[in-house]
Amino acid sequence: MPARKRIAMIAHDNRKADLLDWTAYNVETLRRHDLSATGTTGGLVEERLGLRVAKYLSGPFGGDQQIGAAVAEGRLDLIIFFWDPLEPQPHDVDVKALLRIAVVYNTPIACNRSTADFLLSSPLLDEPYERFANTDEV
């Protein structure tokens, strides 16, 4: 991973306000990195915080799968995914696939605010980092 990380952000509907609040709190740190997000989330972050965000499709329309593909292709370094485990999603299979691919490719993924805080405050965030995949086949 380069020192300037490529960070993807995703939030289910019930968690978008929480992600926006977290992003506002961490806006100066996030400015130092390349940001992407699923469509609706990325649009909200750009509109409310003025951050530049490359947008994938909305999650239910394939955005989660696009982020998973970017992980597998080595185009993302870190994922912030505020998902709602208590609300059934029409694309639950895509969510599970994204979580799986993040683990297979040893990609840090924060699924709640506390973990996101720890990832962003890590001294490794602004340093190059050699990441190893969890399988010999990758």
Q: List active site positions.
A: 64
The secondary structure of the chain, three-state, reads CCCCCEEEEEECHHHHHHHHHHHHHCHHHHHCCEEEECHHHHHHHHHHHCCCEEECCCHHHCHHHHHHHHHHCCCCCEEEEECCCCCCCCCHHHHHHHHHHHHHCCCCEECCHHHHHHHHHCCCCCCCCCCCCCCCCC
